[in-house]
Amino acid sequence: MNNKLRSIISVTTALLFLILVFMNFIGYWSANSFIQILFFFIMVISIFNAGFEICKYQKLKS
């Protein structure tokens, strides 16, 4: 898989989970507490993963 494509997929995943957690926070949709905690931790992990992928892409680019 191309490094640029991998970084785009990671950023997209992080943004989608960020939007889902924010929508739950403002009360647009509701879920039980297990799903809320699960989505929150997936969001945090996907943000870190997106940061690592972007850093790797920038190192390979230069």
Question: Over the stretch 12-29, which tens digit does the pLDDT of each residue have?
Answer: 999 999 999 999 889 888
Please report the pLDDT score of residue 1 as a whole number. Answer: 65
Rounded CA separation 29/48 (Å)? 25
How far is C-alpha 22 from the chain's CA centre? 12
Q: Which of 62, 3, 47 is nearest to 39 (CA)?
A: 47
Per-domain residue ranges for the chain? 1-59
Q: What is the pLDDT of residues 44-61, one digit of tens each?
A: 999 999 999 888 888 877
Q: What is the pTM of this model?
A: 0.81
Please report the pLDDT score of residue 7 as a whole number. Answer: 86
Rounded CA separation 62/57 (Å)? 9
pLDDT band at 41 (very low <50, low <70, confident <90, very high): very high
Rounded CA separation 23/55 (Å)? 28
What single-letter DSSP state applies at residue 30? -
